Structures are given as structure tokens and as C-alpha cells.
Amino acid sequence: MLSLNDTHPDHDRGTPASESTQTVSLTIDGVQVSAPAGTSVMRAAIDAGIPVPKLCATDSLEPFGSCRLCLVEIDGRRGTPASCTTPVEAGMSVRTQSPRLAKLRKGVMELYISDHPLDCLTCGANGDCELQDMAGAVGLREVRYGYAGKNHLDAPKDTSNPYFTFDASKCIVCNRCVRACEETQGTFALTISGRGFESHVSAGMDEPFMQSECVSCGACVSACPTATLQENTVIALGMPTRSVTTTCAYCGVGCGFKAEVRGEEVIRMTPWKDGKANEGHSCVKGRFAWGYATHPDRVTKPMIRAKITEPWREVSWDEAIAHAASEFKRLQASFGVNSIGGITSSRCTNEETYLVQKLVRAAFGNNNVDTCARVCHSPTGYGLGQTYGTSAGTQTFKSVAKADVILVIGANPSEAHPVFASRMKRRLRQGARLIVIDPRRIELVATAHVKADFHLQLRPGTNVAILTALAHVVVTEGLDDAAYTAERCDDKSVAQWREFVARPENSPEAFEAETGVPAALVRGAARLYATGRADGTAQTLAAAGRRPNGAIYYGLGVTEHSQGSTAVIGIANLAMITGNVGREGVGVNPLRGQNNVQGSCDMGSFPHELPGYRHIGGDAVRHQFDQAWGVTLQSEPGLRIPNMFDAALHGQFKGLYCQGEDIVQSDPDTQHVASALKAMECVVVQDIFLNETAKYAHVFLPGSSFLEKDGTFTNAERRISRVRKVMAPLSGVGDWEATVRLSNALGYPMAYTHPEQVMQEIAALTPTFAGVTYEKIDRLGSVQWPCNDATDEAGTAIMHVDHFVRGKGRFLITQYVPSDEKVTRKFPLLLTTGRILSQYNVGAQTRRTFNSQWHDEDRLEIHPHDALDRGIRHGDWVGITSRAGETVLRADVTERVQPGVVYTTFHFPESGANVITTDSSDWATNCPEYKVTAVQVMPVAQPSSWQRAYKDFDEDQRRFLADARLGAAAAVTGK
Ligand code: SF4
Ligand code: SF4
Ligand code: SF4
Ligand code: FES
């Protein structure tokens, strides 16, 4: 139980910190105290170690002043003001304790307790209840009013949400949940309905939580001072006894969490208040969807088999590793050193990823290593590298709080980066302006108290045209920041690029037919981004001596195109021409998909780059690694993932080590990927489940969940945070240890005994990581690369402050080239794909949690006009055919998509979304063009032939796994 004086950093200080730089001095209980102007008396007191009782106040929310427990006396003021809503003033003299205050507080508590179930000893929150704490703090011993009066003790429970319960009988109507939903989450799902005694918390229109707008982020549960809103795991299992601070293993926001455990059992995950990416907030995935880690489907024993048509055989770790190593050696002896390769995982830690790429380069002796970033953000690496000199986002998430205009292109933060979306919406509610460029009407376009000024609903595949047209308006209407480009950018490239974008063929009018976006909207959006005003005339902020801060956020809707790299360059150009790089509130921010996709790229997972984005062809760098690793590295880049598949089909690529990546489900053209894997002789998959790729494997090495790991993840802000082990690996061997064992078995010795030693090696070999140590991360919470002697101790929050990493910023021409994926009479619709909040990526984790109650199948969104044309009704089965393949989904007839465009998610393997995506890819990086596939959609009565074949194959593979387990069990029991 926390004492009122607890000085732990997580301790609640009652009201938010003031950001004022002015200090005010006052006296509290005779103690001289200083606090920033705007601080509440409550916070000033608590910061000074003086306890103040409170119930409706919490430091993550604006003060509300309803419970009257925090009353104080202030010299010269009448009455007893609430300390949570009273700001400090110079010279103020405050008393927090007096007989009068004690009496008043006791009276308040008596009223609360007289209408509260007296079941503390059996309550799930016993020991973690502020009401209980406050009753003790005010010295309540008896309730004069008795308990027999009118009360709410029979109020019903709402158990509709699978993760938390709302027990109205325990509610003190403090409003914290309502404010959390509004201020922290931005969903506005809750209200206080009724008046006086009838006041009560209601979700939506007095509906069960699951039927309301609630997105199950858990902010209200965290904010509730009583057991009214309580995690079901706490109700079932009781309170945790210790906590371990770690990092969410879902998306690239990288939220910090406290894993609260008893023994090795996780009781709940609570968002970490000091986590800089999330500051105490979370989404449904990180907060609640961790049950997959102990799901019965976990495969915890190594397995081998000769052919994928044969059952698995459970073996010891030693046998599995020895078998994999001997197979890889055999293949290299027969087919050459380059006949095998590896794929690193963007879900694994930096240390694990580093080891896999080192294994490939040093033990396999080639550069055939790639990562799933190939299929998501490789164009970011290329585009930002070419223009700015480094392959990462420029800002912290917090920076959005200083943005005046926010441009979101090809990203859907509410679904894919929800905690960042909450931050963004907070800024938008404060008055920042919003431009959304997306083929779909995503939630941000019009949501609670947020409305986009412009929604440029472009045709899929035309990002480059829109970005160039925006730049055209900026340049031709004189809205650029000429002083910035003169000082910060390469003159020659500026001049060439200006001439290019100013051409009439690059105007919004010229592109209108191609993009489908009215030119006037493009002009308005360009003016708004550049000047803060949609008319582009009155530069409202010019009077304040500065241009508006324009911040761009983008996602896979930019990168996963045949011109993905060009679009990233277009974004970089647009930010530079308006002077929007190098300070808070601006910048270019790729929203990374998976938890450690930034880290896996940083760690040298691409075939052409060593850790820190240094080209393998650079002699000096390569020789540094030669020396450190005691090998002679190949100087030529190795194979990218699609090249590995092609080489396999040509009989030249025979073996693959794939750690924590489900290429069969996540890569385009599933049938092509499956054929490539079938053509290999030794596929080694390391994963926590028998995923789709593992069904084509010959060796299965059981992987570990993030709860079983020590290491680091790097989020989209370049923030490196610790992942800390909560429980031992279920298989007995950590992912990094398996890689070490494989390397040793291959004859290349690795002698690490802890992931920290791996980070020490990374820091020693990578200048941008030179200052990264576990000790520093433990002390500071996290660091952001670049982190070395030339930066602050915590690294670099904002990139390119005085100059670009490459010196002068470089503008590059963004010639629009229409995608080869064009609509035709045969394929008259464009399919685009995306994600949904409750599911994550290939769904292997979230499908094994209650999250499937929100989304249990992928559906095809189709506009009512297109549906009507085809006789399709909502919920009908429809066949979707592209030049790559065919699949069948149920139709969701909706105006979220425009006519001519259809959309689906890809979280369920049987949906076969990637059976229909094609081999079309980005010109610079081979990133697949997932976002544009020409398709036809027709009503059908049965699954596609691929789905029928998939079902049979899947059943066989499940049986092979079950047989292996049965066989092992029989061997143990002797039956
Ligand atoms: S549910 Fe909890 S947070 Fe909400 S009003 Fe009731 S006691 Fe307060
Ligand atoms: S869980 Fe989140 S979205 Fe749902 S009511 Fe609570 S705060 Fe609002
Ligand atoms: S999934 Fe992303 S936004 Fe949600 S808790 Fe995890 S890191 Fe945060
Ligand atoms: S804590 Fe100040 S009025 Fe409730």
C-alpha cells in the first residue's frame, strides 16, 4: 500500500506538472516551498513531502474538484478551498492539517463509506484502493449515518468487457474514469448520467462497455481509485506482489509497462507513468492482450523432420541445433557458401537481431540477411537516408504537442499506433489543424471533438502525385521558407527541384484526374501545412515571430507502393521547403509497425548494411568488423527476401534460418512464398507458435515471448528501452542463446553469457550507439540514438537541429510514375490493406487472446455503389481475384471506402489477403506494393480453391504437431 508520503517516481502527485519556468514561493504547514507557477497547492505540498488526502485528483488528469477531501486553509482566504484546483501564489500561507479540516474530511469519507460495500477483505483491490487508503488517512473509525440508508449497494455489474469489470456498487462518482477517457484516451465513451443520488457512470448511451465506443484502452481502469473498474485478472487472482518494468512487444510506439506479477505469473500489465513514449497510457493490446504468452498453443520443445509432409519429432535442444548446423553445412558444401541465409525479426530484441545478422555474416560467411522491414519501412530507410542522411524519424512523440498543423498520410494511428493517436488527438483538441491524406475515411477524419480540415481521399497508388502537387502549390505561391533552405539545404538540388515541381504538369489541377482529389482541396491543404491558414494569406503565427510548426506522420500507406521510396522523398522535400525539420513540433515521422522494426534495421539486418546503416562495401567499416569478429566478410550485399525466394525457385538457395517472422502470412503472393520454401531443403523456424512459415519448416526451435527476455527494443522515436525478463523462457533456452548455440555448432564461436554483453559489442562497433549502456537505460529510463559523446547523455531527442546529418539537406526529384497495378476491365477495383486496433500484424499473438471478441475475421470493405453493381449485400461471401490469386471474405458494405476502392485487413491466415497481393514492389528497395492491387470482386458461395487447399494443409500440419506431442508424452509414460 502506498503511503501518502511515498516518493517513488510512480507516486501520484495529484495534479499534472506545470511547464512554467517561473517559480513561486509559498509556505505550506510552516515549510518554505517553491513550485513552478500554475502548480496546484496539492502538488506543491506533495512534491515537498507533505501529504494531502485526495480522491478525485490524480496527476494524469486535470483537476476536477468534486470530492472535497483535499480541502486546505489559506491565510487571508475564506472557507476551505480545494487544494487540487487552487494554484500556488507567491507568499501564500497554507495549512493542510487542522481540527476543522480533519472534521470536514472525516465527514466526506463517512458519506462515501456509508454507501460502499464493506467487503475490503474479499475485494480484489484490497491493498490497492485509494478509498481504503483515505479512510485510514483521515482516521475514519465509524460511520455515524449507519449503512441502512438509501444506497447503491445492489447496483449491477457490467462484465461485458473480457478484460475488466465495472462494479457500480463501488463507484464514488469521482469522474476520474470519465476524464481519463476524454483527456488521456480521447474516446469520450463515458459520461456521468443522472443527477444527485442518481448520478452514475455510463458507457455510451447507458450501454454495456462492449457495445459502447469504448476501445478497451484501460485508462479508466488505471484512473479509478476504487475497485469499481478492475482488471478481471486481479479479481480472479488477487493483487500482484512485485513488478518488473519492461516494454510492450506490439507496435512501434514502444510503451513502457510494469509487468505486475506474483511469482512468475503475470497478474496485470500497467502502463508505466515514466515511460517516455506513453507517459502512463496504453492500448488494449499492450494493456490486456498478453495472455498469448502462456497459451497452450505455445510450442516449447525443439522439433525436427526430414520433409514437411512428415510428422514432427520432438528432440533435445542439442539434437535440434546439431541437426540444423549439419544441414546448413551440407547445403553450403553442395551448393556453395551463398546457398543459405537468415531473416531477423522485428519482434525480437536488438541484441537477438544483432546476433542473427552476425551469425549470417560471420558463421554462414555471406550477407544473405534481411528483415521484415523489407516489406514495410525499407523505403523510409532509403528516402530519409538520401535526403537527410539518416534512416529514422526526426522527433519524439511528445513533440506533437507543439505542432500547429499535423499532416497524416498513409497512416491510421487510431488503429495501428493508438497511444500516439491519443497524444495527437489531445493536440488537435487544443486547436492544431489536421490534414489527412488517405484513400479511406479513417477515424481521425471525423472523431470525437476532432475533425480534419482536409481529407484528401486519393486513389491508392497516387501519393507521389499528391505530394508533388502540394509542393507545387508551396513553391508557386511563395509559401516556402527560403531563408531555411538557403541556410540548411543543398543549393543546386533546391534549384533543380523547384524548377521541377513548379512545372504546370505537377500542379494539383494537372494531377486531379489521376488522384481523384479536387485541385482546390490540394491547394487548401498545401496552404494550411505551409502557413497555418487554409487561405495561405494571413500567416497568423508570423506575428508571433515564427512560421507555424508543420509535422508530418506517415505509415505503410506511403511506403508499401511501387513508388514508396519516392513518396518518402516527397515528404522529406515538403518538410524542408517549409522549414519544418530540426525543432520541436515539426519533422518527418514514420510510424513504425512492429515493436522493434526500427531496431532490427539499426542492427544491420539489411543485406547491404552493417549495424548503424554502414554499407558493407565500405572497406574501413567492414575491416573494423572483420577484426572484431575475426572473419573476412564478403564485400558484396547479399540477397533480399524476394531474391532469396527467387533463388530458391531456381535451385540456388537451399536453407533458411528465420527467427520470429511469419513470411508465409506477411509477405506478398503467398503461393510464391510457399513454393520457395518448399523448394528449400532446410528451413529452420524459431517462433513461439507453429506459425504459417513453421508449417514449411524442417527444424523448429521454440522461441520466447517478450516476458521471457532481457534486452532492448527501439521504437519509432529511436528510443531504446529495456525489455526485462519476467519469467524464465518456457523452452528453457532464450532466443539469443539458441542463436549462440547454432553459431557454435557451425564452428563460429560465440561466448556471450548475457544480452548485455551483446549491447556492449554493438556500442563498441556502432558510433550512433557508442553511449548506450544498460546502466544508463536503467538510470534514465530510456535513451534515443544517436547516443554518444557528441550528444546529451540521453542521446538525441530531435534530429537535424542545426544541420542535417548528411550536412546540407538534399532535395530529390519525385517524378510520378503510375503503378503497374492499374484497373482494367478484368480487375476494375483497387484493393488496399491495413490494420485494426485489436489485432496485431499476422495475428499470431492477438488471435490467441480475448481481442478476437472485437475482430474475429478479416472482411472486405466495399462501397455501397460497387456492392450494388455486383449484387453484394452486407455480410455476403465475396470472391476477390487478382492476377496473383483468389480468396473469399465476407463483405462489409461501407462508405469508409470510396467507389472503386476495396479494403481489407490481414490478421487471419485463412483470409489469404496476401494470396491476392502481387509481386509488384518499390523501385529502390523491393518493398512490396501491398497497398495497390487491381482486383475483381464477385459474390460467391464457397471458399476459394486456395482456401480449401490451405484448410487441408493446415489440418495436416496441426496433426503433425499433435502427434509429436503425443509421441513425446507416450515416450515419457512408456505407453
Ligand atoms: S468508476 Fe471509478 S473512476 Fe469512475 S467515477 Fe466511479 S469510482 Fe470514480
Ligand atoms: S477503456 Fe478506454 S476507451 Fe474504454 S471507457 Fe475506459 S478509457 Fe474509455
Ligand atoms: S500496442 Fe503500441 S500503443 Fe498499444 S500499448 Fe503496445 S506499444 Fe503502446
Ligand atoms: S482531490 Fe481535490 S476535490 Fe477531490
| 363-385 per-position pLDDT tens digit | 999 999 999 877 677 889 889 99
Ligand 4 pocket: which of 43, 46, 52, 55 to mutate (most atoms <8 Å of CB)?
55
What is the reported pLDDT for 294?
A: 93
Show the ligand 2 pocket: residues with CB < 6 angstroms: 180-181, 185, 187, 189-190, 203, 214-220
What is the reported pLDDT for 127?
A: 79
What is the reported pLDDT for 7?
A: 38
Which ligand is closest in space to the CA of residue 112?
Answer: 1
Which protein residue's CA is at the shortest distance from atom 2 of ligand 1?
224
Which atom of ligand 1 approaches the CA of 223 most closely?
3
Ligand 4 centroid to Cα of residue 52, in Å, is 10
Ligand 1 pocket: which of 200, 201, 214, 222 to mutate (most atoms <8 Å of CB)?
201
| 943-969 per-position pLDDT tens digit | 888 889 889 999 999 999 988 888 776
147: pLDDT strictly greater than 70 = no
Q: Which of 106, 99, 67 is nearest to 83 (CA)?
A: 67
For range 77-100, the mean pLDDT: 95
- The answer to whether the CB of 43 is under 6 A from ligand 4 is no
At 148, the pLDDT band (50, 70, 90 cuts) reads low
- The answer to whether the CB of 738 is under 6 A from ligand 1 is no
For range 476-496, the mean pLDDT: 95
What is the reported pLDDT for 844?
A: 82
SS (H, E, C) 272-336: CCCCCCCCCCCCHHHHHCCHHHHCCCCCCCCEECCCCCCCCEECCHHHHHHHHHHHHHHHHHHHC
| 724-771 per-position pLDDT tens digit | 999 999 999 999 999 999 999 999 999 999 999 999 999 999 999 999
130: pLDDT strictly greater than 80 = yes
Which protein residue's CA is at the shortest distance from atom 8 of ligand 1?
174
Q: Which of 903, 870, 900 is nearest to 889 (CA)?
A: 903
Which protein residue's CA is at the shortest distance from atom 6 of ligand 2?
220
Ligand 3 pocket: which of 273, 282, 397 to mutate (most atoms <8 Å of CB)?
282
**319-342 core/surface letters (b: 16 or more CB in 10 A; e: else):** ebbbbbbebbeebbeebeebbbbb
Which protein residue's CA is at the shortest distance from atom 4 of ligand 3?
283
What is the reported pLDDT for 6?
A: 39
Q: What is the mean pLDDT of the chain?
A: 91
Ligand 3 centroid to Cα of residue 370, in Å, is 25
Which ligand is closest in space to the CA of residue 71?
Answer: 4
| 513-572 per-position pLDDT tens digit | 999 999 999 999 999 999 987 765 545 555 556 789 999 999 988 888 788 999 999 999
Which atom of ligand 2 approaches the CA of 184 most closely?
7
Which ligand is closest in space to the CA of residue 172?
Answer: 1
What is the reported pLDDT for 3?
A: 37
Ligand 4 centroid to Cα of residue 504, in Å, is 62
Ligand 1 centroid to Cα of residue 188, in Å, is 15
What is the reported pLDDT for 964?
A: 86
Residue 948, all three cell numbers: 480449401
The continuous run of DSSP H or E covering 24 comes out as: strand 23-28
Radius of gyration (C-alpha) of the chain in whole angstroms: 29
What is the reported pLDDT for 973?
A: 61
Which ligand is closest in space to the CA of residue 269?
Answer: 3
What is the reported pLDDT for 9?
A: 44
- The answer to whether the CB of 285 is under 6 A from ligand 3 is yes
Contact 846, 840 (CB under 8 A): yes
Which atom of ligand 3 approaches the CA of 840 most closely?
1
Work out the angle at residue 480's Cα, subtended by the Cα atoms of residues 479 and 485, and round it to the nearest 5 degrees.
170
Which atom of ligand 4 approaches the CA of 67 most closely?
4
Name every residue whose Cβ is closer than 8 Å to that of residue 25 and which is 6 or more positions away in sequence.
32, 33, 34, 90, 91
- The answer to whether the CB of 56 is under 6 A from ligand 1 is no
What is the reported pLDDT for 453?
A: 96
| Strand intervals (E) in 77-175 | 93-95, 157-158, 164-167
- The answer to whether the CB of 837 is under 6 A from ligand 3 is no
Name every residue whose Cβ is closer than 8 Å to that of residue 830 and which is 6 or more positions away in sequence.
439, 459, 460, 461, 821, 823, 900, 901, 902, 932, 933, 934, 935
Ligand 1 pocket: which of 61, 167, 175 to mutate (most atoms <8 Å of CB)?
175
- The answer to whether the CB of 248 is under 6 A from ligand 3 is yes
Ligand 1 centroid to Cα of residue 460, in Å, is 45
What is the reported pLDDT for 971?
A: 66
Work out the angle at residue 887's Cα, subtended by the Cα atoms of residues 885 and 891, and round it to the nearest 5 degrees.
140
* Percent of the chain's residues with pLDDT above 70: 96
What is the reported pLDDT for 183?
A: 96
Using the Cα atoms of residue 268, residue 271, residue 275 and residue 278 in order, give the sign of their dihedral: positive
What is the reported pLDDT for 261?
A: 94
What is the reported pLDDT for 812?
A: 95
Ligand 4 pocket: which of 84, 175, 179, 226 to mutate (most atoms <8 Å of CB)?
84
Contact 653, 677 (CB under 8 A): no
Residue 849, all three cell numbers: 487472446
Whole-prediction pTM value?
A: 0.93
Ligand 3 pocket: which of 163, 187, 269, 283 to mutate (most atoms <8 Å of CB)?
283
What is the reported pLDDT for 539?
A: 52
Q: Is the peptide bond before 508 cis (omega within 30 degrees of 0)?
A: no
- The answer to whether the CB of 71 is under 6 A from ligand 4 is no
Which atom of ligand 2 approaches the CA of 229 most closely?
6
**Which of 2-16, 175-189, 395-409 is least confident?**
2-16
For range 845-855, the mean pLDDT: 89
Residue 117 φ then ψ, to 5°: -60, 135
Ligand 2 centroid to Cα of residue 244, in Å, is 25
- The answer to whether the CB of 254 is under 6 A from ligand 3 is yes
CB atoms closer than 10 angstroms to residue 965: 14
| 266-275 per-position pLDDT tens digit | 999 999 999 9
Name every residue whose Cβ is closer than 8 Å to that of residue 550 and which is 6 or more positions away in sequence.
403, 404, 405, 406, 407, 529, 530, 575, 578, 580, 586
At 154, the pLDDT band (50, 70, 90 cuts) reads confident
Torsional class of 802: left (φ above 0), alpha (ψ -120 to 50), beta (otherwise): alpha
| 594-649 per-position pLDDT tens digit | 889 999 999 999 999 999 999 999 999 999 999 999 999 999 999 999 999 999 99
What is the reported pLDDT for 160?
A: 96
Ligand 2 centroid to Cα of residue 724, in Å, is 28
- The answer to whether the CB of 186 is under 6 A from ligand 3 is no
| 647-659 per-position pLDDT tens digit | 999 999 999 999 9
Which protein residue's CA is at the shortest distance from atom 7 of ligand 1?
171
Ligand 2 centroid to Cα of residue 211, in Å, is 12
Tell me how far apart the alpha carbons of residues 171 and 619 are, in angstroms, rounded to a whole number.
67
What is the reported pLDDT for 8?
A: 44
Tell me how far apart the alpha carbons of residues 227 and 60 are, in angstroms, rounded to a whole number.
19
What is the reported pLDDT for 859?
A: 93
- The answer to whether the CB of 348 is under 6 A from ligand 1 is no
What is the reported pLDDT for 836?
A: 80
- The answer to whether the CB of 51 is under 6 A from ligand 4 is no
1: pLDDT strictly greater than 60 = no
Residue 307 φ then ψ, to 5°: -135, 155
